[in-house]
């Protein structure tokens, strides 16, 4: 008999056997009601690998009398789409076609556009799946004709029943009883990262390599932990996970949570993405700590330089210093908020001419520089003198507001003494 992967053999044959996705497949879930009604619209399934997208598509196909066609966009082409569409209205598909398009994000705009006419008419019902955010990767016209459902990583508790079924199947395959140490099931469920397929692969490997004693397969916790190493990492440098981790890292530091900051930095480094970690930490230093602790910028730069010089795994040491220091530092975004406000005005055309006294000297004829009227601040007490700097059209505009932190408030008090309280 031909080999069949456990992950394929255990694939659910009913909605009740699908693990996780209770928010859409629970007793009152919208997707469940759609499937049970038999009136299937165009659908886009979005979520990580191993969360049931293909399984649910198969269950939908089993409930419809339409001819099922499958295309994997990683290897498919426009000619494959044309071949499918050629069957519309023929004896091969008298009731229309149910097209399952896996990894639709790999189809370009032209390939996706080729589906529009037939899915709009209803000759083809499209079920597309993707591991990437469809609002970024799926052509808008296709999205507007489809309903999007998000598949979420499966919780460890929901993976346990699938692990039990998988172990029972493997024991039957191998013709032996199963002896499983305490904690094995939980270790697999936790380490799979919400990917049921990954959990089944772990079960299959463990049981195929388990020691057999008197007809009993002994699966040990030590073996399970070895199989589980790094398996929970879900990371794609080009995909959503990359940006989600970076976002979580920055928001954790901005929120002054050093524990969460260490966690997300660890996920980046464990994936080997040193460059992204360094770049994002520099951004955070400038954007989120900023003027509240201005020395943070050269400090983080030094940590980043050290990390790039050392490489992994030692790079984790200076980067850990940087992440914890920033998470526990006072925060201010006052400077970049001020600049963003100025940029908004510039982009809106709110500029005006430079004040005459701010123009470069070459704007005047030789020997006439003094007529500009520029006052040199260093010639005055405290190196400051009152004069206009903004264009006339923006006179009185305020972009920068001193934030409520020690450093900026100290600067504010300094200038209030010199400029007066209404400066």
pLDDT average per 10 residues of sequence, the chain (423 residues): 78 87 90 89 89 89 81 86 80 78 88 82 86 85 90 88 90 88 88 85 89 87 77 55 86 93 91 89 95 94 93 92 94 92 90 82 55 82 88 88 90 88 73
**Statement to judge: residues 93 and 40 lie in one domain:** yes
CATH, residue 173: 1.10.8.60
List phi, psi (to 5°) of 348.
-85, 0
Q: How many helices (H) and strands (E) does the chain have?
A: 20, 8
Supply the CATH number for residue 37's domain: 3.40.50.300
Question: Are residues 125 and 161 both part of a single domain?
Answer: no
Residues 50 and 146 in one domain: yes
> Are 55 and 35 a contacting pair, CB within 8 Å?
no
Confirm if 103 and 129 have CB atoms less than 8 A apart.
yes
- On whether the CB atoms of residues 348 and 400 are closer than 8 A, the answer is no
**How many residues are present in the chain?**
423
**CA–CA separation, 308 and 304 (whole Å):** 6
* Residue with token string 């809106």: 348
Say whether both 322 and 338 belong to one domain. Answer: no
Residue 299 is assigned to a structural domain of this protein: yes
In angstroms, rounded to a whole number, what is the distance separating the alpha carbons of residues 376 and 121?
Answer: 74
Specify if 11 maps to a domain.
no
Burial class (CB in 10 A: 0-12, 13-18, 19+), 318: buried
Identify whether residues 347 and 269 lie together within a single domain. Answer: no
Closest CA to 70 of 88, 57, 89: 57
Q: Say if 234 falls within a structural domain.
A: no
341 in the same domain as 248:
no
Q: Is 45 helix (H, G, I), strand (E, B) or coil?
A: strand
Give the residue among 252, 242, 249 at the shortest CA–CA distance from 266: 249
Q: Is the model's pTM score more than 0.75?
A: no
Compute the Cα dihedral for 100, 106, 110, 113 and give only its sign: positive
Q: Which two tokens stand for residue 26?
A: 């629970």
Residue 265 covered by a domain: yes
Domain count, the chain: 4
What is the reported pLDDT for 273?
Answer: 85
Q: Is 113 found in the same domain as 26?
A: yes
DSSP 8-state symbol, 364: S
**Closest by CA position to 303, among listed 316, 286, 292, 312:** 316
Provide the token pair at 56.
Answer: 């649910």
287 located within any domain = yes
Q: Residue 294 is encoded by which pair of tokens? A: 């201005």
Same domain, 134 and 170: no
CA–CA dist 143, 137 (Å, integer): 10
Neighbouring C-beta atoms of residue 211, cutoff 10 Å: 11
- Residue ending a domain, among 228, 260, 280, is 228
Residues 36 and 126 in one domain: yes
Collapse the DSSP code of 177 into the 3-class scheme (helix H, G, I; strand E, B; otherwise coil) and give the result. Answer: strand
Under a CB-based contact definition with an 8 Å cutoff, are residues 56 and 25 in contact? Answer: yes
CATH for 273: 1.20.272.10
DSSP designation for 99? E
**12 touches 59 (CB < 8 A):** yes
Indicate if 27 and 126 belong to the same structural domain: yes
Sheet holding 124-130, edge to edge: 67-72, 97-102, 124-130, 43-46, 147-150
* CA gap 136, 358 in Å, rounded: 46
* pLDDT value at residue 216: 87
Task: Determine the pLDDT at residue 254.
Answer: 94
Indicate the residue among 92, 119, 150 that finishes a domain: 150
By DSSP bridging, strand 147-150 and strand 43-46 are: parallel
Q: Which of 203, 294, 307 is nearest to 265 (CA)?
A: 307
User: Which of 127, 100, 152 is CA-nearest to residue 44?
Assistant: 127
Quick check: is 233 in a domain? no
Tokens of 172: 């039957």
For residue 362, what are the domain limits? 334-419
**How far apart are the C-alpha atoms of 55 and 127, rounded to whole Å?**
12
Tokens of 341: 């406000």
Q: Which of 303, 327, 351 is the last residue of a domain?
A: 327
Are residues 62 and 105 located together in one domain of the fold? Answer: yes
CA neighbor of 84 nearest in space, from 69, 95, 74: 69
Residue 12 lies in a domain: no
CATH at residue 407: 1.10.3710.10
For residue 366, the model assigns a pLDDT of: 53
Report the C-alpha gap between 57 and 68 in whole angstroms: 10
Residue 7 lies in a domain: no
Q: Does 249 lie in the same domain as 208?
A: no
The DSSP code sequence of 102-159 is: ETGGGS-HHHHHTTHHHHHHTSEEEEEEESS-HHHHS-HHHHHTSEEEEPPPPPHHHH
């Amino acid at each position: 008999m031909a080999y069949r992967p456990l992950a394929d053999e255990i694939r659910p044959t009913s909605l009740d056997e699908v693990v996780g996705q209770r928010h859409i497949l629970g007793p009152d879930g919208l997707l469940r009601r759609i499937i049970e009604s038999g009136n299937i619209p165009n659908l886009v399934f979005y979520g990580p690998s191993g969360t049931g997208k293909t399984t649910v598509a198969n269950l939908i196909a089993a409930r419809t009398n339409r001819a099922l066609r499958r295309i994997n966009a990683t290897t498919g082409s426009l000619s494959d789409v044309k071949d499918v569409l050629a069957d519309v209205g023929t004896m091969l598909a008298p009731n229309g076609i149910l097209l399952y398009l896996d990894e639709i994000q790999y189809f370009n705009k032209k390939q996706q556009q080729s589906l529009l006419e037939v899915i709009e008419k209803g000759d083809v019902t499209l079920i597309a799946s993707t591991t990437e955010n469809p609002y970024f990767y799926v052509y808008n016209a296709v999205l507007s004709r489809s309903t999007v459902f998000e598949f979420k990583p499966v919780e460890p508790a929901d993976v346990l029943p699938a692990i039990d079924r998988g172990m029972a199947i493997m024991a039957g395959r191998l013709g032996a009883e199963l002896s499983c140490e305490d904690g094995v099931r939980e270790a697999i469920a936790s380490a799979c990262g919400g990917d049921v397929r990954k959990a089944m692969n772990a079960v299959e490997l463990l049981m195929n390599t388990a020691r057999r004693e008197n007809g009993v397969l002994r699966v040990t916790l030590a073996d399970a932990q070895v199989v589980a190493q790094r398996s929970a990492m879900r990371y794609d440098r080009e995909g959503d996970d990359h940006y989600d981790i970076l976002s979580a890292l920055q928001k954790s530091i901005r929120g002054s949570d050093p524990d969460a900051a260490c966690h997300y930095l660890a996920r980046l480094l464990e994936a080997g993405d040193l460059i992204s970690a360094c770049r994002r930490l520099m951004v955070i230093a400038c954007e989120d700590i900023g003027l509240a602790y201005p020395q943070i910028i050269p400090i983080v730069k030094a940590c980043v330089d050290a990390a790039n010089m050392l490489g992994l795994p030692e790079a984790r040491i200076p980067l850990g210093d940087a992440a914890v220091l920033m998470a526990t530092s006072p925060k201010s975004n006052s400077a970049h908020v001020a600049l963003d406000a100025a940029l908004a005005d510039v982009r809106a055309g709110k500029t005006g001419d430079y004040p005459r006294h701010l123009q470069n000297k070459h704007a005047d004829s030789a020997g006439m520089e003094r007529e500009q009227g520029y006052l040199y601040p260093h010639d005055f007490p405290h190196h400051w003198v009152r004069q206009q700097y903004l264009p006339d059209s923006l006179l009185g505009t305020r972009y920068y507001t001193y934030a409520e932190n020690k450093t900026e408030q100290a600067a504010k008090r300094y200038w209030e003494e010199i400029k007066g309280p209404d400066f």
